[in-house]
């Protein structure tokens, strides 16, 4: 038995012993964390939405696009995006080993989306849902999109629709929208102020995105302001060009308070990055990693997996991350989003995880160490390989 397997067995035994001891002790009240005004809730005290096959709420995608277009034309207010105009009932069902979301709009007819291609994984992850602990009132009403429970959040702030590339795919359709939308510094500060005022707030992660967020003239001031009001987990999703061009820019971002960088990458050869239209794109990525690491920030490789393009490159990316763990914090695999400029093939975690478990990947990686996240089990998965010190 290997050291890792032995450690896993010991941890499992220790956990079960701890649970037995806990059950034998007199019942008391859980502590109140410093970030909350109320005590932690026990599992049986937590609310939980219906799980399994069920009727839920969703939105009509066409009604939502109509509302968006109306806002852009000035014929509708921005509130129409958060009102219930597009809300419809939806049914989550299992069929032929898949989990489907079916819904129908009175105006636009029926829609069907695949939530998971592996129903066993989907239901297993749902069964692990711990329940809703802290109820919170949002600062601003977001209608059906409101977050009602939680102790933190991950807030995306799209700074600009501009980009210094015109690659395919691009869910934002940057540089080809026909217009440029760019937040002012005051608008950015208002969004960050709202995030900082939500209670309870154990931790908020802020991700500056775009377009290419580093092109915004307000990128560094926005990072600095976020840190000044107590938002410390600050990240940026970037193609890395500005970080590669200038070590000084990376140092300035770190000095402003940037915590980590999600660096887009498609593979570890120029061939796997060729569809982005930059001849030395891999060199740009490697230089960006060096500069970001030298500035003292963490790099997460963000990989959009596309069938027939780079779905056979995921193993080499994991290998690179393992061999450069002093610079690379982790790897995020995501399926392609069918929005903006997108191709027609999609790869989901259940379809490509076996590729990062084969002979081409390091021994530190195991398929069994990947856990699908319960919000979208077939689209989001996390894994923690062993790392040598």
Could you tell me the CATH number of the domain that includes residue 196? 3.20.20.70
User: How many percent of the chain have pLDDT more than 70?
Assistant: 79
339 shares its domain with 205: yes
256 belongs to a structural domain: yes
User: pLDDT digits over 109-127, tens only?
Assistant: 999 988 888 888 888 888 8
Taking residues 116-145, what's their average pLDDT? Answer: 76
pLDDT score at 375: 47
98 secondary structure, DSSP code: E
Question: Which of 302, 346, 339 is closest to 173 using CA atoms?
Answer: 339
pLDDT score at 314: 83
112 shares its domain with 230: no
336 shares its domain with 370: yes
From CA 351, how far away is CA 348, in angstroms rounded? 5
314 belongs to a structural domain: yes
pLDDT score at 137: 63
Contact (CB, 8 A) for 250 and 297: yes
108 Cβ neighbours under 8 A, 6+ residues apart: 60, 62, 63
Residue 275 has pLDDT above 60, yes or no: yes
213 belongs to a structural domain: yes
114 shares its domain with 154: no
pLDDT tier at 249, thresholds 50, 70, 90 = very high
Taking residues 238-243, what's their average pLDDT? Answer: 94
92 shares its domain with 154: no
User: pLDDT digits over 166-190, tens only?
Assistant: 777 666 666 666 667 889 999 999 9
Contact (CB, 8 A) for 349 and 379: yes
Contact (CB, 8 A) for 350 and 116: yes
pLDDT tier at 350, thresholds 50, 70, 90 = very low
Contact (CB, 8 A) for 373 and 381: yes
From CA 28, how far away is CA 47, in angstroms rounded? 20
137 belongs to a structural domain: no
Contact (CB, 8 A) for 311 and 355: yes
106 shares its domain with 152: no
194 shares its domain with 242: yes
Residue 385 has pLDDT above 80, yes or no: no
Residue 24 has pLDDT above 80, yes or no: no
Q: Mean pLDDT check: name the lowest of 161-165, 219-223, 261-265, 305-309.
A: 305-309
| Count of domains for the chain | 2
Contact (CB, 8 A) for 231 and 195: yes
123 shares its domain with 155: no
For the chain, give the mean pLDDT: 80
93 shares its domain with 216: no
User: pLDDT digits over 26-49, tens only?
Assistant: 777 788 888 888 888 887 888 887
Enclosing domain of residue 328 = 147-383
111 belongs to a structural domain: yes
99 belongs to a structural domain: yes
Taking residues 11-35, what's their average pLDDT? Answer: 82
Contact (CB, 8 A) for 337 and 209: no
109 shares its domain with 152: no
88 shares its domain with 205: no
47 belongs to a structural domain: no
338 shares its domain with 223: yes
pLDDT score at 41: 85
Taking residues 333-341, what's their average pLDDT? Answer: 62
198 Cβ neighbours under 8 A, 6+ residues apart: 136, 138, 139, 153, 204
Taking residues 233-252, what's their average pLDDT? Answer: 96
284 belongs to a structural domain: yes
User: How many percent of the chain have pLDDT more than 90?
Assistant: 32
User: pLDDT digits over 282-322, tens only?
Assistant: 899 999 999 999 999 989 999 887 777 777 888 888 889 98
């Amino acid at each position: 038995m290997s050291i890792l397997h032995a450690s896993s067995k010991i941890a499992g035994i220790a956990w079960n012993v701890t649970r037995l001891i806990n059950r034998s002790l007199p019942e008391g009240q859980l502590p109140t964390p410093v970030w909350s005004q109320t005590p932690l809730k026990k599992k049986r005290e937590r609310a939980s939405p219906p799980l399994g096959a069920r009727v839920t709420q969703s939105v009509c995608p066409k009604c939502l696009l109509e509302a968006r277009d109306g806002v852009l034309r000035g014929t509708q207010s921005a509130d129409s995006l958060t009102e219930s105009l597009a809300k419809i009932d939806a049914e989550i069902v299992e069929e032929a080993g898949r989990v489907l979301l079916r819904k129908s709009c009175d105006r636009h007819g029926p829609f069907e989306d695949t939530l998971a291609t592996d129903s066993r994984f989907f239901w297993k992850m749902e069964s692990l849902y711990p329940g809703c602990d802290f109820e919170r009132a949002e600062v601003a009403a977001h209608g059906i999109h409101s977050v009602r429970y939680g102790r933190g959040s991950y807030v995306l702030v799209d700074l600009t629709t501009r980009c210094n590339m015109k690659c395919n795919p691009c869910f934002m359709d940057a540089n080809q929208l026909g217009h440029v939308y760019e937040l002012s510094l005051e608008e950015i500060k208002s969004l960050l102020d709202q995030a900082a005022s939500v209670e309870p707030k154990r931790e908020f992660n802020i991700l500056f995105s775009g377009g290419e967020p580093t092109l915004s003239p307000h990128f560094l001031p926005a990072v600095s302001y976020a840190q000044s009001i107590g938002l410390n987990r600050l990240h940026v999703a970037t193609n890395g060009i500005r970080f590669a061009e200038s070590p000084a820019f990376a140092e300035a971002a770190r000095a402003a308070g940037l915590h980590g960088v999600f660096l887009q990458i498609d593979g570890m050869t120029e061939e796997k990055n060729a569809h982005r239209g930059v001849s030395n794109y891999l060199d740009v990525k490697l230089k960006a990693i060096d500069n970001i690491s030298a500035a003292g920030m963490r790099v997460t490789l963000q990989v959009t997996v596309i069938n027939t393009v780079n779905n056979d490159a995921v193993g080499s990316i994991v290998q690179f991350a393992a061999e450069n763990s002093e610079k690379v914090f982790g790897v995020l695999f995501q399926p392609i989003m069918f929005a903006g400029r997108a191709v027609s093939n999609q790869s989901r975690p259940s379809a490509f995880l076996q590729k990062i478990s084969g002979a081409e990947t390091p021994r530190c990686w195991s398929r069994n160490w990947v856990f699908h996240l319960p919000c979208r089990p077939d689209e989001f998965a996390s894994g923690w390989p062993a790392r040598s010190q």
